[in-house]
């Protein structure tokens, strides 16, 4: 079956115009994250995955920080449940492996914990609050290249 979307890895200069509005729609408008903390100094230093539909419209994003943390995973509501988040995550994991990282980490919103567990991430520690939302730290080992 042909996928109705594609995922590309790019820097923030290339991703910002399309990834920024997706992140604001999901995190700020939908989840109530303060706008002042949504974009940060890590964006310019990170690799960004940008998912586009068959028409080339951006519908999801995520980022890989230089230290191996994955974050800012956001998929527009109409695209949830279609494998888009899994494809974005897979692209970021592949990028981490290509960069020689042996372990990756993320802070999952607790409601997304099962999603990340299905993709090989294991919880570390206890729940904590970040931007007013409960999270759990999770890690995944990567095969040494």
Domain layout of the chain by residue ranges: 5-141
Residue position matching structure tokens 């974005």:
88
Task: Say whether 1 sits in a helix, a strand or coil.
Answer: coil
pLDDT in tens, the chain (145 residues): 456 899 999 999 999 999 999 999 999 999 999 999 999 999 999 999 999 999 999 999 999 999 999 999 999 999 999 999 999 999 999 999 999 999 999 999 999 999 999 999 999 999 999 988 999 999 999 975 5
Which residues share a beta bridge with 77? none
Q: Selecting from 3.30.9.10, 2.30.290.10, 3.40.630.30, 3.30.390.50, what CATH number does the domain 5-141 have?
A: 3.40.630.30
Residue 2 has what pLDDT?
A: 53
Helices within the chain (DSSP H only): 12-23, 35-38, 84-98, 113-118
DSSP state for residue 59 in the 8-state scheme: E
Residue 1 has what pLDDT?
A: 43
């Amino acid at each position: 079956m042909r996928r109705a979307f594609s995922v590309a890895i790019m820097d923030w200069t290339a991703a910002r115009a399309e990834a920024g509005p997706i992140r604001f729609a999901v995190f700020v408008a939908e989840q109530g994250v303060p706008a002042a903390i949504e974009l940060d100094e890590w964006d310019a230093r990170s690799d960004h995955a940008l998912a586009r539909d068959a028409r080339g419209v951006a519908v999801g994003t995520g980022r890989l920080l230089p230290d191996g943390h994955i974050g800012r995973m956001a998929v527009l509501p109409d695209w949830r449940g279609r494998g888009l988040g899994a494809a974005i995550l897979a692209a970021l994991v592949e990028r981490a492996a290509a960069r020689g990282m042996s372990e990756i980490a993320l802070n999952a919103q607790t409601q997304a914990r099962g999603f990340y567990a299905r993709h090989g991430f294991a919880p570390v520690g206890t729940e904590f609050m970040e931007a007013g939302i409960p999270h759990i730290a999770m890690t995944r080992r990567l095969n040494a290249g």
